[in-house]
Amino acid sequence: MFQEILGIIAIFLLAVVLAIPLGKYIVKVFKNEKTWSDFIAPLEGFIFRISTIDPTEPMDWKQNMKAMLVLNGVFFVWAMLLLLTQGIHPFWNPDNIAAMEPTQAFNTAVSFTTNTNLQHYSGEASASYLTQLLVFCFLQFVSAGTGIAALALLFQGLLLKQSTTLGNFYNLFLKSCTRILLPISVVIAIILLTNGMPATFKGAEQVITLQGDTVSIARGPVAPMVTIKQLGTNGGGYFGSNSTHPFENPNYLTNMVENFAIILIPIALVFAFGFYIHRPRLGYAFFCVMTLLFLLFVGISVSQEMGGNPMLAKMGIDITAGNMEGKEVRFGTAASSMWGVSTTSTSNGSVNSMHDSHMPLSGGVFILDMMINAIYGGVGVGLINFFVFVVIGVFISGLMVGRTPELLGKKIEAKEIKIAALIAILHPMLILVGTALSSHLAAGNGGEVGYGGSAQWLNNPSFHGFSEMLYEFTSSSANNGSGFEGLGDNTPFWNIACGVVMLMGRFLPIIGPLAIIGSLAAKKSVPQSAGTLQLDSYAFSAVLLSVIIIIAALSFFPALALGPLAEYFMI
Amino acid sequence: MAKSTQTGLFEKALVKQAIKQSFIKLNPMVMIKNPVMFTVEIGTLVMFLVTGYILFSGDTAQGSFTYNLVVFLLLLITLLFANFAEAIAEARGKAQAESLRKTREETPARQVSLSGEIKTVSSSQLKKGDMFIVEAGEIIPTDGEIIEGLASIDESAITGESAPVIREAGGDHSSVTGGTKVLSDKIKVMVTTHPGESFLDKMIALVEGASRQKTPNEVALTILLAGFSLVFLLVTVTLKPFADYAQTPITIAALISLFVCLIPTTIGGLLSAIGIAGMDRALRANVIAKSGKAVETAGDIDVLLLDKTGTITIGNRKATHFFPTDGVDSTGFARKALVSSLADETPEGKSIVELARSQKVEVRQVDASRWRMIKFTAETRTSGIDLPDGTRLRKGSVDAIRKLVECAGNQVSDRTLTKVEEIASNGGTPLVLSENEKVLGVIQLEDIIKTGITERFERLRRMGVKTVMVTGDNPLTAKYIAEKAGVDDFIAQATPEDKLQYIRKEQGEGKLVAMMGDGTNDAPALAQADVGVAMNSGTQAAKEAGNMVDLDNDPTKLIEVVEIGKQLLITRGTLTTFSIANDVAKFFAIIPALFIASIPGLQSLNIMRLESPESAILSAVIFNAIIIPLLIPLALRGVAYKPIGAGALLTRNLLIYGLGGVIVPFIGIKIIDLIVGLFV
């Protein structure tokens, strides 16, 4: 038990320690300074030349957002095209997998473009090697790059004074992929490969078991995909069962490495923020606010899972190993809880245990984690979400100290508050309206009303079924992509509803804050005085924490009360 | 500072008026300006319809008639409380304005036509550009500028200051205010405002709330509050399908109660009252702000420009020391200094007499008619007296006296020169006294820094405001006084252009600048400054250019204005925090109550152990309603501002209003529940 705890502490400490130098390196990349990775420059130059893009052209926030949307639009069309035609691709389809059903293809294309990687399909049964690599693996790189590049624009905007241009999205996007994601991926992939993860183009292996049955074992180019799914906070697994599958996560060491990869870049970007704006203390302060919540959530989840299920104890079953339902024996409860909180904090969405089978409070923590969606958060976008909380926090605390609120010297006025409020509302709106719609449909389905009802997609009625629907929409809106599972979600309703929610939950929370940044960058900078509120103070950290808790907890309290809390109190 | 009469927070007459207004303000067209309270009004209307439906149909699926009626009445009371807060603030402003308006009552005016004819008309008939005359004992009919003559005027009616002031044609003290009384002499005045458009008229309209525009921060806060309301609207509306799924029927009354409790009604109801009260506080400090924005901006000021004379130092320089040269005894020197200044009417001359007398030096009564006063001229740059015995006493700057002395073949001793330099470098002004072209010694003139001003600058510094002294003195003197008074910077030998340049430079760095001024040549700088406070005694041009007018003509008033501005923001911020923090307790009251039937497990969330679902919901709604009137005094007086630095202030307010806002409703709702439990 002690070893289990030690294992998760090691993962966290390793990530934090390595995130500091990585953060410094990321700043150099963003600022176009000299780094060891400059040998990649010719390749980048070649890509820009053939796509006739001038990476040095300064663009204002609107041009940058247009660039982002056009680029992502192309990725979406590319994904749709390949998914709908994969049955007739001439090569890299040894298992002859057919084309995807259109609503499922839509959901999947949206899911991978938006860095959500919600999977209403099982990779081994529904995707050819070609789509696995050219759609899934490719999109997991570029969608992560999109998020990081958007954050780089935000960093730059905070430093600018009376400027309309922010930087060049194309340049930041490509460099995020080639200089940040690619090099780290190579290192991680090699570690995973040496631990037994397959990477092959051969088709499924026919094996005759000891019992004499013939079993078909799916395989393929697993290692590269698993690496980027963790690093880019994507979470789109090669197999349906994601990182619980022995090929996607062979042993305890690979589990540690993958979990480390999940939180590495999100944490490094928080530090990078401080380094970029020459206020490392502020980066550390934000990190502390996030970490406080992160550790609290890990603590709750670990204690719940290690404690085991009291219902089983009442039946006289030994629960000393903790709540092992839905978990892999090679990882145990603590590592599963740590992973669960990591993956929901960072909008990663890969799983190494079934979240559906976690204890109610542990599952509730996962949902709350995605409702906040800014504890480290997805690469780039997590800190952008956090920025919205910062704007609101700055506004309220600015009033409380009797000075027109200012963020790093820029006045926060009606225009910024309007955008921040709309973006802050968006996430609860998508989740609550989505869940309300599905609850309504579930309640009315088959003429039977209520928890005993039998909506076709609900395998677990009652509070748990409610949690599953709530989880699905929360995961979609947070661009997380994990599922509570147990939900029959490959239906047109879930495919389309989640697709729309993913699109809105991805792009609006990038465009809104960037609009704020565009407006802030154009403002004069107010010099500091004794009346200026220090953002790296304890007091402001407390305000930030309260804003996060109030917006997330208060708006979701009734929903959580009806799902995980009701279930918890029932036990 | 002279304060006008203090109005009690809840005077009977005002309360009566405000109660009436509370009902009038229920008009949806008025209500819609406040999005938070407007949604409450819609909820109240829905409850009215539900209650009516139950009364006529007898259908009790939505709860009993009494229960629904009580909820409806509680919501109505919530609305009325919020309206009352705004109405009482307006009533207080009006009362304040009324006392000003009393001075504007119809007064006869003796109008002078262009041909010189004089006819008596009513003050309301005077138009801009008309001329009238006023004599001792008469009331000045309207605002204007003296074009002929000089008079002493009692301005106590608007400033509360009993000492009369001198106003004269030309110069920077030519403006007179309607309602004030001429005590001596006769003046001819030109009307400078249209009827009903004088500063007082504008101010009255502003405090009455009629022409009050929302300030920028208030607009931003309203948006944020609307955002919060929208989130809670979503929470409430989606709860219905959630509850249907959980097979728990939720009554309309319960949903609307939940919604009204969650949205920030406390701050929503008090927001405009806070704004009006801020203007009112400015007015009580005898400052007329042209807009609420000006008061709010004052709270953001980074740089404060202050005139040295009258603000930092007391009026003019004073003699503080006599330094006789070798061979002159000190009593003799003091007597000569006294004699030389006996007939000198300048403030410096008077202060020399004062200093000599304080050293027990007196002169015999003499026949002053035989003395010859030598006035200061630009040519000699000295002044003094010729005595009947032929003694010539002269005083002046070292250069002027030196010229005089050396022409007569005498020398100025090194000791004198050293003394002169010493005085100058210490910020004083040396005045050399000579008798029959021989140097007697040096008189030290010094600026006397007002008592308490250093502390006020220290207070400003802790607020983060940089103080800048503006003076015509040379840089050396200016530097000395600046250091002694504790200002952060100074502009020496300042011309109006220098002030303007300085303001532009600071603004270029993103800072907000405030200044006070009274002269016409201050007008460009007053207009350029973010907060320009013109003195009421100043010229019309200065008053037009600034965005505030100080009726007391007190240059240190800016400090109070800054604090009023900060208080305004702090009151809004802390009450917003309090309002939102209250939601935690309300959730714990209402959510378990909603699901008690279908999900008994959720009773564990009922940590307050409230009696029954109905009493829990009623208690939360009652608490939500009565917290508004309980906070009205705080909204009107404003949350105290303490210059303890932004971090410490935030911690303090966060503990009181944030943590307090979480805890207070738990206690409040529990107590109300105990009382409600007796009846339900």
Report the residue of A448, A562, A565, A571 to disrupt the B interface, i.e. the one with the largest count of B CBs within 10 Å. A562
Catalytic position from the list B143, B280, B300, B307: B307
Helix, strand and coil content of chain A, in percent to the nearest 5, comes to 65, 5, 30
Residue B645 has its nearest CB partner, among A530, A565, A568, at A530
Question: Are residues B602 and A422, on separate chains, in Cβ contact within 8 Å?
Answer: no
Report the residue of A162, A396, A397, A400 to disrupt the B interface, i.e. the one with the largest count of B CBs within 10 Å. A400
What total number of domains does chain A contain? 1
- pLDDT score, position A352: 92
Q: What is the pLDDT of residues B31-85, one digit of tens each?
A: 888 889 999 999 999 999 999 999 898 887 888 888 999 999 999 999 999 999 9
Tell me the average pLDDT of chain B: 83
- Which residues does chain B have within 8 Å of residue A477's beta carbon, measured at their own beta carbons? none
Q: What is the pLDDT of residues B163-193, one digit of tens each?
A: 677 788 776 678 887 777 888 888 888 888 7
Nearest-CA distance B589 → chain A (Å): 12
Task: Give the three-state DSSP class for B132.
Answer: strand
Average pLDDT for B135-147: 83
Interface of B with A in 119-148 (CB under 8 A): none
- Reported as half-sphere exposure (CB side, CA atoms, 13 A), residue B420 has a value of 21
Residue A557 has its nearest CB partner, among B463, B587, B649, at B587
CA A245 – CA A153 distance, rounded (Å): 38
Q: What is the pLDDT of residues B443-455, one digit of tens each?
A: 988 888 877 888 8
Nearest Cα to A508, choosing from A390, A420, A395? A420
- pLDDT score, position B654: 92
Nearest-CA distance A150 → chain B (Å): 25
Residue B285 pLDDT > 70 = yes
Residue B149 pLDDT > 90 = no
How many residues belong to chain B? 680
- pLDDT score, position B4: 41
Task: Give the three-state DSSP class for A209.
Answer: coil
User: Which structural domain range is residue A274 located in?
Assistant: 2-570
Identify the band that residue B342 occupies on the pLDDT scale cut at 50, 70 and 90: confident
DSSP per-residue letters across B13-82: HHHHHHHHHHHHTT-HHHHTTSHHHHHHHHHHHHHHHHHHHHHHH---TT--HHHHHHHHHHHHHHHHHH
CA A367 – CA A145 distance, rounded (Å): 26
Question: Are residues A400 and B650, on separate chains, in Cβ contact within 8 Å?
Answer: yes
pTM greater than 0.90 (yes/no): no
Q: Is pLDDT larger for residue A466 or for residue B510?
A: A466
- pLDDT score, position B217: 87
Average pLDDT for B132-160: 80
Residue B245 has its nearest CB partner, among A399, A401, A439, at A439
Q: Is B466 on the interface with A (CB under 8 A)?
A: yes
Q: Is pLDDT larger for residue A383 or for residue B541?
A: A383
Question: Are residues B650 and A409, on separate chains, in Cβ contact within 8 Å?
Answer: no
Residue A539 has its nearest CB partner, among B570, B584, B654, at B654
Nearest CA in chain B to A423: B227
Nearest-CA distance A318 → chain B (Å): 26
Nearest CA in chain B to A531: B464
Query: Counting one residue from A and one from B, how many pairs have CB atoms under 8 Å apart?
Result: 230
CA A350 – CA A249 distance, rounded (Å): 11
ipTM associated with this complex: 0.91
CA B651 – CA A4 distance, rounded (Å): 39
Residue B508 pLDDT > 90 = no
- Which residues does chain A have within 8 Å of residue B511's beta carbon, measured at their own beta carbons? 526-527
Q: Which residues of chain A fall short of a pLDDT of 70?
A: 444-456
- pLDDT score, position B651: 92
Cβ–Cβ under 8 Å, residues B637 and B599: no
Annotated binding site of B for ATP: 344, 348, 376-383, 395
- pLDDT score, position B49: 94
Q: What is the pLDDT of residues B113-127, one digit of tens each?
A: 878 788 888 777 788
Nearest Cα to B644, choosing from A543, A541, A408, A530? A530
CA B132 – CA B147 distance, rounded (Å): 10
Interface of B with A in 314-353 (CB under 8 A): none
Q: Is B58 on the interface with A (CB under 8 A)?
A: no
Question: Are residues A449 and B567, on separate chains, in Cβ contact within 8 Å?
Answer: no
Interface of B with A in 244-273 (CB under 8 A): 244-247, 262
DSSP state of A561: I
- Which residues does chain A have within 8 Å of residue B565's beta carbon, measured at their own beta carbons? 402
B244 flagged as catalytic: no
- pLDDT score, position B606: 87
Residue B5 pLDDT > 80 = no
Phi, psi (degrees; rounded to nearest 5) at B535: -80, 145
- pLDDT score, position B533: 87
Q: What is the pLDDT of residues B409-426, one digit of tens each?
A: 888 888 888 888 888 777
Identify the burial level of B633 via C-beta atoms within 10 angstroms of its C-beta, where 0-12 means exposed, 13-18 middle and 19 or more buried: exposed
- pLDDT score, position B258: 92
- pLDDT score, position A559: 92
Nearest-CA distance A520 → chain B (Å): 13
- pLDDT score, position A385: 94
- pLDDT score, position B3: 40
